[in-house]
């Protein structure tokens, strides 16, 4: 990926200081999503390494991962699997608890969303501490997914999320990095 593309994507992301609490710089991708060129280039760049390979499913984490994951799945001619918060899916589910900065939450997928051995890419907007992404990887592996990669627009490397996923043997791709929280 070129420096120019990275600069374009960084310029399309809104920075909101002290949200959701003092000392946090929130990286808001809604401005990137609203910018047709930046949105298209982000999706194209997320898809590029996997174009022409067999990816069975793209899994996206609620909620921005639905937007990005759906677009990536479309480009790859793959199915899409939503990873939802507990209680949001109507059919038989598999659930996992995962750690957050402020406690524990649960997410789930439909039990039949992925067949054992299917090649899956996990997509979300940002990886920070990695608790949610790590939970999603473990949940997908629990139902038999072969995780090809976890892809994000933004990585906050100082928070260590990438390392958590790499420790699980998952290739991690991020389009841009920001220092700090």
Residues forming the active site: 64, 101
Cross-strand partners of 14: 28
* CA distance linking residue 45 with residue 84, whole number of Å: 25
Whether omega before 20 lies within 30 degrees of 0, making that bond cis, reads: yes
Q: Quick one: 32 exposed, middle or buried, by C-beta within 10 A (0-12, 13-18, 19+)?
A: buried
What kind and span of H or E run contains 48? none
Is the separation of the CB atoms in 167 and 147 below 8 Å?
no
* CA distance linking residue 73 with residue 60, whole number of Å: 10
Q: Which is nearest to 129 in space by CA: 62, 95, 180, 94?
A: 180
* CA distance linking residue 33 with residue 13, whole number of Å: 9
What kind and span of H or E run contains 155? strand 146-155
């Amino acid at each position: 990926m070129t420096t120019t593309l990275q600069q374009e994507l960084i310029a399309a992301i809104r920075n909101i200081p002290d949200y959701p609490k003092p000392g946090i710089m929130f990286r808001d991708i809604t401005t990137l999503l609203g910018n047709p060129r930046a949105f298209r280039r982000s999706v194209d760049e997320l898809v590029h390494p996997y174009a022409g390979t067999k990816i069975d499913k793209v899994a996206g984490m609620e909620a921005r991962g639905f937007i990005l994951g759906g677009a990536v799945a479309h480009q790859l001619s793959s199915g899409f699997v939503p990873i939802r918060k507990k209680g949001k899916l109507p059919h038989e589910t598999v659930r996992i608890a995962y750690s957050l900065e402020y406690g524990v939450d649960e997410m789930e997928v439909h039990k039949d969303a992925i067949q054992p051995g299917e090649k899956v890419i996990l997509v979300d907007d940002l990886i920070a501490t990695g608790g949610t992404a790590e939970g999603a990887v473990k949940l997908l592996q629990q139902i038999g997914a072969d995780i090809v990669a976890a892809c994000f627009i933004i990585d906050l490397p100082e928070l260590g999320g990438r390392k958590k996923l790499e420790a699980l043997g998952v290739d991690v791709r991020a389009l841009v990095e920001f220092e700090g929280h």
